[in-house]
Structures are given as structure tokens and as C-alpha cells.
Structure 1
Amino acid sequence: MSQIAFWGSARGQAGTTGNLIALATIAGLEYMTKNLIAHTNGMWSTIETAYVKQRVQQDQHLLDMTNTGIDALTRLARSNLLTADNMKDYTLPILKERLDLLVGPHNEQEAFDENMIKVMPMIMAHAKQHYDHIWIDVNSETSNLLTQQVMQAADLIVVNLNQNIQVLDRFFSKEHWPAALDQVPYIIVLGQYDRHSKYTVNNIARRFKVKQPIYTVPHCAEFLDAWNDQQVLDFFVRNRNVKKGHPNYFFISEVQRFARGTLSRLGVDIDLLSEGRG
């Protein structure tokens, strides 16, 4: 029943899309929740490339834009034919009953934004009736009207930063600060995190007097390779139970901590809904 906007203050630098993919995939695998991934980017986002290849091989018609994706939902919404019951039919299943993907449009950004501002509230209202969590990757431009709309309507905003001190300075000084953050609860995550950097989580929190937890999604070459190979789900299935000493342990454990913290902030009883890792 929650809408979560993923916003990054520095386009292409904070790993916003990868952070969303990692969290939503872990949430689908480890918690008994229904999750939908969406984005507000015109044309295809790199979100699709994380999952689509393996699914297309099984069902070629899934990517027919007349039958699935945001374009199909937009037409239904405009015709007052969209319902909570039928919207799932137009999404791409990634993990059965746990994780679906709302494929993006084949429109340029400006045309997409203009269309979506009118119908996005209706689509999200129906989606909230079917899914527990809707994870939405939004444009980093705070002047973008669709970004503003989605963030204002969110139940939680995930602010994606990195270890670049200029990026951090602009955000914490509120030089680059979306107005929605004054009204909507938010959490902070550092993408492409390097624990060997001088600017660790603790040092950043101390320098900017951050009281709330700061989460991380560490840099992980194997995760990025899996993304390039359209095998993100397989990567998390293989690695989510790795033990200390494994090369991917720090990445996985931090993503799991990020997921627990985010879901807890949304009011989810994570102990009740956890699938366990056995």
C-alpha cells in the first residue's frame, strides 16, 4: 500500500537505479510482500535491462507495448477501464506473486511527462490496491513536474547520495533539496559505496550532523556484471545466503540492512513477513 520514490541528487552518480533494483529484488525474495518496480523515465530505463532478457526468452509477447507496460495502462486509465484487478495483467512478472516490473514507454521524455502527469495519480491509486510496495525511480531534476508529483504523493522518499563531498555539501546545505522532503518522510542511502574511502558513513554522519541512519549499497562488480547480463534476479538468488569471507558478503549484507530499514520505516513487521534465508 506504499509508494516509495527513489530520487538522486546527482544524476548518474549515486547509483539510484541500481539501489532501487537491489532493494526491490531483495524485498521480493526475502519478505512476503507484493512489489512493483516502475520509473518515470521516457523511453526505456536501465531498469528493464536488469531483468528483461531472461523473461523475453520465455515469453516474447511480453514486450509488445500494445499489450503491456505504462503505455497500455495509460490508455486504460484514459478510457476509465483500469482497475486494481486488471493492472497486473499489464506488468512483467519477475518473481511470481512477489515482484513485477512496469515496463516503460517508447516516448521521448517530454511527451511522456506531459501524458503521465494527468494519469499517474490514477495508475498509482489502483496499483496501491494490488501491491504492498511500489518502488518508483524518478528523474533527478527537481524542476521536473512529474518528479515533483510522484515525490509529493510518496509515502517515503529514498534520497540517493554518494561519497562526493560536493554532492553531500549541496544536499545537506539544502542547496539541492526537493520541496517534497519538507513534507514527506525520507531515508538516505549512499550508492556505489566504498568502505575504504575517507568519507565513510560514520564520518559523513558526523560531519553533517545526521541523526538518522544512513544506509549503503556498496560497489559490487558481480552485481554490475549481472545487470549487464540481464541476470540480476539470478545474482541475488545465488548470493543472498553467502557467509562472511565471501567477496559479495558486504554488498549483500548492506542491501539486506537497507531493505530492513526501509521496510521498517514503512511500518512493515519485518520479522512477521520474513521468509528466512535457510
Structure 2
Amino acid sequence: MGQIAFWSPFNGSGQTSSMAALAAVMGSEYHIRCLIAQTKNRDSSLEQSFSRSMNNFSRTLSQVTGARNVSGTGLDAVLRIARSGKLEGGTVKNNAQIIEKDRLDLLSSSDQKDTAKFEAASDLIRSIFDQARKYYNVILLDLPAGDDSELSRKLIASSDIVVVCLPQSRRSLDAYFNQKNWPSTLRGKKTVLLFTQHDPHSKYKAANVTRKYKSSKGLIVPYNTNFKDAFNEGDTKGFYKANKAAERRHPNYDFVSEVQRAAKQLLDEIGIDSRTKRIDAEERGAS
């Protein structure tokens, strides 16, 4: 149904961890089918962040083979199918790893060592995610930060929304608001600002930034040490499950509530009614 691309002017913005946190909310709280993927070849940071929650079949095979991508799964496998002309709506699902059954899948990134060869497949990669829309309600794509490659331009063009991830860095803020390092297809595209690793005590907090640059209000993912540790240890899903009902005085409350708010708004932005798709809403309706 909807495709959301995540992009940032520079590396180190917290883009991948923020997208992972949002995916954990969507997979836990909503009765939707969500796919997440990274489009930078040989980057497994997103996959690693959910490693403790991957289905046992995929994890066991990975351990036996010693490989990150199991043969027959991931973006490389789907690319082989696409080249053979047999790409269908369910192809991505059949080659993705399960994080939350029937609700959240991950398509492993490519192991292609030749960047030029990977970029040459940009039309095929775009068609893969176009086909994936026939099964998934929402697709979250983690694009390389600061990238203006042909692949990133095509995926931005085909996305319904681009989430621009901005840390509290003067360099990143100036680069974005002065339209430096922008992919050409970002101009005129529907964007949502996401202030990542946000510290409300910083001079560059979201309210001050939007005032200074005369920008619309953005979404926030606060900095949270406990979440960062869980992300690095492959327990992104477990962290959210353990903290999603945290009370107001809990140290993780602000992080969880802001991520929940951001996930809800992004779903609404792409035409998914977050109110009726909430799992607890369905339970109330059935009672």
C-alpha cells in the first residue's frame, strides 16, 4: 500500500536505529503487514538490530552456514528471481525473514561486493519493492545517508513519503535546510522531518530548529541509552515489548511514547487508519 523511505544528509544520524524503533512499534501494535529493508549493499545493521527476534529457521541456517544471508533468501535471491522474469507479489515474502509473524518481515540486504553492479540493478530493485506492495501494507526503506545514487533517486521517487532524519548537528541541519547534498528527486517530494537521538535540553531541540529554519513541526525519536544498548545487542523488538506499557515516571516512557506517536502519524500519512488497525482496537470491537 504505502512505501516510506528514510534518508539523512550525513551518516551517524541515528537513521537506522530510529527506523528500527518505528518498525518495532508497527509490528507490535498494528494489524498490518510491514516490510523493512536496507538498500545499501553489504550493510546488515538493520538485520543485526533484530537478530534476537528472527525466526528460528533462518537463524539456525545462518549459524550452520556461517553466512549472514542464507542462500535462497534476501535481496540477492529476489534479484535472481527478478532477472529470470518470475518476480511475483509473494516473491519478497517468501524470501524475507520473520520478526513478528504476519506483521513484520525483514528483507536482508545484498551481499554484492561490486557497488557498480549493484547500482546497475536499480530498476530491478525498484520493481521488487513495487511488487512487494501487493502483499505488504507498508514498506520501510533505509536508504544510504547523503546518497544521491541512481538507486536512491528511484526509490525516493517511488515512495509515498520520505522521512528526513535530522540529528542535533548544526552541519546536518544546515545541509538539509540549505538544500545541500539533496537527492534530486527529493525536491518537491512529500517529506516528514524526524529529529533523531533527540535531547530536549539541547540548544538544537526540535522546537528551536523548526523556529530557526521556519520549518513545519517534525516527529521525534528521543535519545535513550537503554534502547541504544538493545539495538546494538539485536534486541530492538524485545526492548519495545518490555517497555511499550511503561508508566509516565519510567525512564523509557518518553522514548516509547514519542516513537508510538511517530509510528501512528506515519501510518496515517500513507492512508492507513491507525485507529482502526490497532490490535487493541480490534480486540475491543470483538468483545
Q: Mind listing any 5+ residue stretches in structure 2 that lack a counterpart?
A: 63-67
Query: Could you tell which deviates more after superposition, 91-100 or 177-186?
Result: 177-186
Deviation at 1:57, TM superposition (A): 5.1
Deviation at 1:64, TM superposition (A): 5.0
Partner deviation per Cα, 1:172-218 (whole Å, 9 max, x = no partner): 1222333222232110001111111122211111111113x311111
Deviation at 1:111, TM superposition (A): 4.2
Separation of aligned partners in 1, 2:150 and 2:237: 32
* Residue of 211, 218, 223 corresponding to 2:222: 218
Partner of 2:139: 134
Matched positions, count: 276
Is residue 2:217 matched to residue 1:208?
no
Partner of 1:89: 94
Deviation at 1:275, TM superposition (A): 1.9
Deviation at 1:56, TM superposition (A): 6.5
Is residue 2:157 matched to residue 1:158?
no
* Residue of 251, 260, 266 corresponding to 1:262: 266
Separation of aligned partners in 1, 2:266 and 2:212: 23
Q: Mind listing any 5+ residue stretches in structure 1 that lack a counterpart?
A: none
Partner deviation per Cα, 1:101-130 (whole Å, 9 max, x = no partner): 001122226145334313112211210000
After superposition, residues 13-162 of structure 1 pair within 5 angstroms as 14-55=13-54, 59=58, 60-61=60-61, 65-108=70-113, 110-111=115-116, 113-162=118-167
Separation of aligned partners in 1, 2:129 and 2:16: 19
* Residue of 184, 189, 194 corresponding to 1:189: 194
Answer yes or no: is the 8 Å Cα contact 1:50–1:227 preserved in 2.
Answer: yes
Partner of 1:276: 280
Separation of aligned partners in 2, 1:112 and 1:45: 19
* Residue of 198, 206, 211 corresponding to 2:203: 198
Change in CA separation of 1:242 and 1:264 when aligned onto 2, cut-off 3 Å: same
Answer yes or no: is the 8 Å Cα contact 1:105–1:112 preserved in 2.
Answer: no
Matched residue type, 2:3: Q
Separation of aligned partners in 2, 1:79 and 1:179: 31
Change in CA separation of 1:271 and 1:53 when aligned onto 2, cut-off 3 Å: closer
TM-score by length of 1: 0.93
Percent sequence identity over aligned pairs: 32
Give 3-state SS (helix, strand or coil) of 1:94's partner: strand
Partner of 2:65: none
Separation of aligned partners in 1, 2:275 and 2:118: 39
Matched residue type, 2:98: P
Deviation at 1:54, TM superposition (A): 4.4
Give 3-state SS (helix, strand or coil) of 2:118's partner: helix
Separation of aligned partners in 1, 2:246 and 2:117: 41
Give 3-state SS (helix, strand or coil) of 2:279's partner: coil
